[in-house]
Structure 1
Amino acid sequence: MDKKILIVDDEKNHRLMLKIHLAEEGFEILEAENGVEALQLIDENDFDLILLDIKMDIMDGFTFLSHMRQKDLHIPVIVITAFSNVKTAVQAMKLGAVDFISKPVDTDNLLDLVKNNLKASSDESISGADNVLKNYVFEGVYSEEGLGKIIEMLKMVAPTDATVLITGESGTGKELVAKSIHDNSHRKNGPFLAVNCAALNENLIESEMFGHEKGAFTGAVSQKKGKFELADKGTLFLDEVVELPLPTQAKLLRALQEKVFERVGGEKSIRTDVRIVAATNRNIKEMVKEGGFREDLFFRLNVFPINLPPLRERKSEIPLLVKFFIDKYSHSFNKLIRGYTDSYIQKLMKFDFTGNIRELSNLVERSIILCTSDKLDASHLPEPEHSDFSEDSAMDVRGNERNLITKALKQTNGNKTKAAEILGISRRTLHNKIKEYEIEV
């Protein structure tokens, strides 16, 4: 049976163009020139997908999406919007749209989006409403005020192809969340590639991301596929995405928008079907204001934002997380650990957990190694180190960081690459710090 698609757009010629291309693929197409007409057609037909324009004189796209939510209509909606107005698409996603495409519409890209979203919708129907996917990170080990909200957001976004931006402090589990999104999507049988953008060599970063042709530069002795090509039909996780240089950000934006790119030194455009999940522990909005990160790329990445709260704000979850890590690690060390004593949890509660879940994970793993009984005890933990972060101490940290950077630059006679190596940070991070602290080089 052919899939039935509704096109809602007040531009007749644009509707016709979309209808021709989709009908060629065997889809049954119905048209509406505004939201009111579309709602009437929905009452009379069973649609598998809706293509929705936002700006319409009679009931715009936002109002239409609100009516769909009120009527509890669960039909995938792909929003069509002007490229210069990606903010609009982000708002539409929050109202229930599953994806968006910018005008002028690339028909190949449109067909990919339609087919992917129809497949995702079909997979959900097969699984059934009661058979909710359960492989979400830390599921069952959260409080309602902590990770509980995050889990519910993951369940909403994972089955879609929406781009996700995960923010949060270091150690809060951003890569685990990204992998969880992939594992619960229709792409789960495809590759999941994680890229630490801060660790990439600045001179070879485009080659790592997009590949290169033989002879493209000195040392390019053979053709190489980049991460975008290798992650085709899967998910690409861009950790610390803000560390990408501005030229690479421009190329990334095009790959996200048009689903095409060229290898370094190549002329052939390569089409890819990759879902992007990005992450950062920095304030990306501030970087946009300061010109360190492209605003248009930020809006393209920030379709579905998820902020992971630090562990110190949800310490009530610590006992549940401890049990999670006991189950995870006790088998690895071939030990039968049945739980923990009250004193163990009481001592854990005294930690500041500046390293968040990663720090807790390491503490539990260490405790299991030291444990000679069947329960973890306070004696298996080190003494907690407290850090009272007042405004004064925060200023001291910034002052110390500035001094360290200044000393490293003096030691290397202003060589930023060598200074970054000494400090253990990327050259781009060093550049940002020099700008932030107004250090003269």
Structure 2
Amino acid sequence: MADKKRILIVDDEENHRFMVGLHLKENYDILEAQNGLEALNILDDEHVDLILLDVKMDVMDGLTFLSHLRKKNLNIPVIVISAFNNVRTAVESMKLGALDYITKPVDIEILKNQIENLLESEDKNEMELVEDYVYEGVYSKEGLGKIIDVLKLVAPTDATVLIMGESGTGKELVARSIHLNSPRKNEPFLAVNCAALNENLIESELFGHEKGAFTGAESRKLGKFELANGGTLFLDEVGELPISTQAKLLRVLQEGTFERVGGTKTIKTDVRIIAATNRDLEKMVQEGKFREDLYYRLNVFPVKLPPLRERKNEIPLLLDFFIKKYSQKFQKIIKGYEDGFLEKLMRYDFPGNIRELENIVERSIILARSERLTSDLLPPLKYSNGFDSGVKNIKEHEIEAIKNALKETGGNKTKAAELLGISRKTLHNKLKEYNIEV
């Protein structure tokens, strides 16, 4: 039988230490300390797997103890327990390294669940970093490669990751790579765009709903937290979540439980959370638009993706990648690009980042009449000095793209619309607007 994990209970209330220890001693070895100073002395001599820490103690309070724990570089998971249901205190403790918190009177079942989750996570954190990192894109060692080196460390764990970066920098691709290099890689990876759903629909999307929960709920629907059980849930644009939904998300992160909309049954879920945002969440916290406690729960492992303008050395790699992708999609032979094509792109700042570059390549391949992409295929590019490199205006580019698509499809409007990535109705309107005869 495996050795029991050791839990240190630090609390100046003897009765509370006894009560908590009584409920935990069946599965764990229990050590006790009546203040932070006594706890530090115990840690000098004893191995401890987890600490339950009270905040308000006379000799050395919980926050002071946490700061000493950090200085000693002791990587022991801490759950803060306090009679003071104060979000500010909980947030301060998490800034100092606590991984979770719970308020008195303690719900023993919730506490047991928190302890179990943290200890399981610590076991997974002992895995070695991923050497052959799976990434479904391209990058250079000097560019995104620096971020990949960090992801190799966090991917094998169950830590919550917050990916920050401008729109179009590849946040979902990075989130998917974390999942693909984790022990959950064979389980579901589901993504939710929090900005794409209104307040009434987002909770149903995340937590599901029961039949009759609201008008139009004709049958039970499972939410993403249920469907992703055992896997990873990616919350894109998490800063757009309504405050009411933020509170429910916080509960799932704390307890691993939720109820469907209109339901009463509590459902347990085991999901790793990866969140992403292009907004300044810290500023939103200060403005009261984002919960401070939720921010610190999501920001366990922050990853900042640099914009494309700060890693332009990756543009040639990305060009080759997208040319291969879209020449296959459109069944065209495109062998590369002229120097002028690359030169104009290298001088451009790409406010839309990688997504904008991809769109430019896709459009250029649709317009291309030779095996190499040339600078005249580029749309107007607004440089930082205000100079516009475009030889043709947007209208001229659209006309040429439509004519090329119709030519390649033998005048078939449905197929031409598919080639252009627009609806048949939109194509019909463009033909009428530009007086293009078929």
Q: Same fold (TM over 0.5)?
A: yes
Cα distance in 1 for partners of 2:383, 2:305 equals: 22
**1:2-58 Cα shifts (integer Å, max 9, x gaps):** 25534344347649846864753xx6x47475345335445xxxxxx8213566949
Task: State the one-letter code of the partner of 1:109.
Answer: Q
Task: State the one-letter code of the partner of 2:118.
Answer: L
SS in 1 for 2:229: coil
Q: Kindly report which structure 2 residues correspond to 1:356-395, keeping only aligned pairs within 5 A, or say none.
A: 356-369=353-366, 376-386=373-383
Change (3 A) 1:133 1:85: farther
Q: How many residues align?
A: 361
Is the aligned partner of 1:38 residue 2:43? yes
Is the aligned partner of 1:109 residue 2:99? no
Match of 1:260 among 257, 260, 281: 257
Q: What is the CA-CA distance between 1:240 and the residue it aligns to?
A: 1.5
Q: What is the CA-CA distance between 1:267 and the residue it aligns to?
A: 1.2
Task: State the one-letter code of the partner of 1:81.
Answer: V
**Residue 78 of structure 1 contacts residue 101 of structure 1 at CA under 8 Å; is this kept in 2?**
no
- Find the counterpart in structure 2 of residue 207 from structure 1: 204
Give the superposed CA RMSD: 3.4
Is the aligned partner of 1:174 residue 2:179? no
Task: State the one-letter code of the partner of 1:269.
Answer: T
Q: Kindly report which structure 2 residues correspond to 1:18-417, keeping only aligned pairs within 5 A, or say none.
A: 21=24, 23-24=26-27, 29=29, 31=31, 33=33, 34-42=39-47, 50-53=49-52, 57=60, 60-68=65-73, 77-82=76-81, 84-92=89-97, 99-100=99-100, 102=102, 104=106, 106-119=111-124, 121=126, 124=127, 132-136=131-135, 138=137, 140-143=139-142, 146-326=143-323, 328-329=325-326, 332=329, 340-369=337-366, 376-386=373-383
Q: TM-score scaled by structure 2? A: 0.71
Cα distance in 1 for partners of 2:278, 2:334 equals: 34
- Find the counterpart in structure 1 of residue 5 from structure 2: 5
Cα distance in 2 for partners of 1:15, 1:273 equals: 30
**Residue 164 of structure 2 contacts residue 305 of structure 2 at CA under 8 Å; is this kept in 1?**
yes
Task: State the one-letter code of the partner of 1:304.
Answer: F
Task: State the one-letter code of the partner of 1:7.
Answer: I
- Give ranges in structure 2 of 5+ residues lacking alignment: 34-38, 82-86, 387-438
Q: What is the CA-CA distance between 1:223 and the residue it aligns to?
A: 1.4
Q: What is the CA-CA distance between 1:283 and the residue it aligns to?
A: 2.2
Change (3 A) 1:268 1:342: same
Q: TM-score scaled by structure 1? A: 0.70
Task: State the one-letter code of the partner of 2:257.
Answer: V
Cα distance in 1 for partners of 2:342, 2:355 equals: 17
Q: What is the CA-CA distance between 1:195 and the residue it aligns to?
A: 0.8
Change (3 A) 1:32 1:339: farther
Change (3 A) 1:344 1:207: same
Q: What is the CA-CA distance between 1:295 and the residue it aligns to?
A: 2.0
**Residue 139 of structure 1 contacts residue 151 of structure 1 at CA under 8 Å; is this kept in 2?**
no
**Residue 175 of structure 1 contacts residue 239 of structure 1 at CA under 8 Å; is this kept in 2?**
yes
Change (3 A) 1:278 1:298: same
**Residue 94 of structure 2 contacts residue 100 of structure 2 at CA under 8 Å; is this kept in 1?**
yes
Change (3 A) 1:30 1:310: same
**1:163-207 Cα shifts (integer Å, max 9, x gaps):** 222222111111111111211222212211111111113223222
SS in 1 for 2:200: coil
Q: Comparing both chains, which one has the higher relative contact order based on Cα–Cα distances under 8 Å and sequence gaps of 6 or more?
A: 1
Change (3 A) 1:91 1:307: farther
Change (3 A) 1:53 1:336: farther
SS in 1 for 2:309: helix
Task: State the one-letter code of the partner of 1:161.
Answer: D
**Residue 196 of structure 1 contacts residue 240 of structure 1 at CA under 8 Å; is this kept in 2?**
yes
Task: State the one-letter code of the partner of 1:132.
Answer: E
SS in 2 for 1:60: helix
SS in 1 for 2:204: helix
Change (3 A) 1:271 1:376: same
Cα distance in 2 for partners of 1:287, 1:149 equals: 28
SS in 1 for 2:209: coil
Task: State the one-letter code of the partner of 2:119.
Answer: V
Change (3 A) 1:30 1:246: closer
The structure number with the bigger radius of gyration is: 2
Cα distance in 1 for partners of 2:170, 2:95 equals: 24
- Find the counterpart in structure 2 of residue 96 from structure 1: none
SS in 2 for 1:382: coil
Q: What is the CA-CA distance between 1:338 and the residue it aligns to?
A: 5.9
**1:258-293 Cα shifts (integer Å, max 9, x gaps):** 211111111111111112112221222222222222
Identity %: 52
Change (3 A) 1:341 1:4: farther
**Residue 160 of structure 2 contacts residue 272 of structure 2 at CA under 8 Å; is this kept in 1?**
yes
SS in 2 for 1:169: coil
**1:304-361 Cα shifts (integer Å, max 9, x gaps):** 2222221112223322333444455555556676655543321211222010011122
Cα distance in 1 for partners of 2:3, 2:371 equals: 57
Task: State the one-letter code of the partner of 2:252.
Answer: A
Cα distance in 2 for partners of 1:138, 1:340 equals: 20
- Find the counterpart in structure 2 of residue 423 from structure 1: none
SS in 1 for 2:251: helix
Cα distance in 2 for partners of 1:79, 1:4 equals: 18
Task: State the one-letter code of the partner of 2:116.
Answer: L
